[in-house]
Structure 1
Amino acid sequence: MTINMICIYFLLRGEVNVVGSYVLKVLSYGLIIGFQHYNYNANKAFFYFRNAGYGIDKLYLYALTCDALAYGVLLSLLKLFKYWVSVF
């Protein structure tokens, strides 16, 4: 959520466009995955999910996909709000 708010802040200030904000999101995803890979041993981390039958790759894929979709919805609502403010 922190990266979402930072991207929206820069988007509102006009420093990046929508495509640029998604590029920042993809870079943040890379940092998250790199940090996890660098600091934690894959055999010791997330053993609760592995015991339940979920793979680490799928866990990251689902979480980051949900985050990207939530960010898209948030951007859509923001654009709609800005449009309605300009109309009234």
Structure 2
Amino acid sequence: MHHFSTLLLQFYRPFWWYHLLFTIIGVYAITIYGLVFLLITILFKLSGYASALGYQYYFNSNVYYYYRNAGYSVRRMYLYAFGFDFLIFIILLPLCVYISHHINA
């Protein structure tokens, strides 16, 4: 499992700041406009995943062999990386909403 976590970190690293930007914008929109904006924020996150997937596929598909040779499917790597990022988003969302409501109250 340690080997897989290292590979996943290497796979996720090029887009960490990119996904963090989408997360911050989404959480900010929720804290400003409320939970009514949740569906649009989730669609915004999904569009960020799609653009990251397209960019990686178009420009960095030559590194896929590294993960395949290690015995891991590239689709599974995407699933775990995006799932981890979405989990962080889901954890940050109620936390930031709770903090913003208590600051503004």
TM range (shorter): 0.7 to 0.9
Question: Which has the larger share of helix?
Answer: 2
TM-score, normalisation: structure 1? 0.79
SS of equivalent to 1:46: helix
**Further displaced range: 52-61 or 9-18:** 9-18
**Further displaced range: 12-21 or 57-66:** 12-21
Unaligned runs of 5+ in 1: none
RMSD of aligned C-alpha atoms?
A: 2.2
Q: Corresponding residue for 2:84?
A: 66
**After the TM superposition, which parts of structure 1 deviate over 6 Å for at least 4 consecutive aligned residues?**
none
Unaligned runs of 5+ in 2: 1-19
Distance 1:57 1:48 in 2: 13
TM-score, normalisation: structure 2? 0.68
- 2:38 corresponds to 1:18: yes
The higher-RCO structure (CA 8 Å, 6+ apart) is 2
Larger radius of gyration, structure 1 or 2?
A: 1
Distance 2:102 2:46 in 1: 30
Query: Could you tell me which amino acid in structure 1 is paired with residue 23 of structure 2?
Result: N
